[in-house]
Homo-oligomer: A and B are copies of this chain.
Amino acid sequence: MRGVIMHTPGDVRVEDRPTPTIIDPTDAIIRIAATCICGSDLWPYRGVDHPDHMPMGHEYVGVVTEIGADVETLQVGDFVVGSFFASDNTCEICQAGYQSRCVHATGLDGTQAEYARIPFADGTLVSTPGRPDPDLIPSLLAASDVLGTGWFAAVAAEVGQGKTVAVVGDGAVGLLGILAAKELGAERIIAMSRHADRQALAREFGATDIVEERGDEGVTRIKELTNGLGAHSVIEAVGTQESMMQAIRATRAGGHVGYVGVSHDVALPGEELFFSGVHLHGGPAPVRRFLPQLIQLIWDRKIDPGKVFDLTLPLEQAAEGYRAMDQRRATKVLLTF
């Protein structure tokens, strides 16, 4: 089968890879219907992480083509959406809603490919109510990671009725954090963005205010908009020192920061954090927790998170997709077959 391999930073190729087969009886094999490039794929692309012939991709929707002997909830032919982490969904951690930290949690072996083996298929995949209309596929694909992650960030930030929410980061996750905040009842949603096209999508998803300033200036603007107090809930969707401090400082005492940007070279100063009085929660999103609800919202056409895809390319042109995201010509690239 064909699949994307990152040989070294910046060197992305589509190559022949072995078609995966069932290894464990809890596995399923799926034929990928659509996949995409993640903001986190840019970390190795830019050399912050160190890829070495790494199969890429962890977002996917597709059709089950084969199931292991122990798979109980899925049938060959099911259309499925899965989380970017495989989880058994039965352990104590999963049952508490933290499937991304399942005691059996495992990453996926590259879903930017024609087929993928999904471990713990019962615990990882969720079937859609039927075969989706083609126009629903981008949104279902978004549920696999960026929507699930933005949703988790909003939940982690305790977004709710009547609250003011600020969102740090205008990538796909930040934008879908806005969508989630809107769905979860936020009264006011402040998007921090300086890109006109992303501001437009932010407003479409529910942002009521835009702040273009960053860092401490951005924090000052958030305070001005919140009676000097800061936001009740802040979604952090970048993962740098600056963005984390911006999120913490933009949150009122007793408020909540939900952070989902993968932290790189971040050290949080203990004393400032202590006196901030904020709640901090985040990490790799337990997307599986939210998948049934998100699939239903998409199926019922109540949300349209697929709008974050602003470039669609065939898998064979994956390298161009990486370039477009790296150069910020695209927010999120969908790969088709």
Contacts and interface: CB of A to CB of B under 8 A. Distances in A.
Which size class do A's interface residues fall under?
Answer: 35 or more
B101 A277 contact: yes
A73 interface: no
A267 B264 contact: no
Interface stretch (A90-98, A143-151, A185-193, A302-310): A90-98
Contact of A270 (B227, B244, B278): B244
B253 A93 contact: yes
A58 interface: no
A271 interface: yes
B275 A284 contact: yes
A254 B98 contact: yes
Contacts of A273: 263, 268, 280, 283
Contacts of A259: 274
Contacts of A271: 262-264, 266
B229 A92 contact: yes
A139 interface: no
A221 interface: no
A274 B239 CA distance: 9
Contacts of A281: 278-280
A270 B279 contact: no
A276 interface: yes
Interface string A196-226: 0000000000000000000000000000000
A130 interface: no
A244 B280 CA distance: 14
Interface in A220-271: 227-229, 239, 241, 244, 252-254, 259, 262-271
A103 interface: yes
A232 to B, nearest CB: 9
Given A264-B270, A268-B267, A93 B252 contact: yes
Interface in A77-131: 92-93, 96-98, 100-101, 103
A218 B125 CA distance: 37
A263 B271 CA distance: 5
A267 B254 CA distance: 21
15 contacts: A93-B229, A93-B254, A98-B253, A100-B277, A103-B229, A241-B270, A259-B274, A263-B271, A263-B273, A264-B271, A267-B268, A267-B269, A273-B280, A277-B284, A280-B280
A282 interface: yes
Contacts of A277: 98, 100-101, 283-284
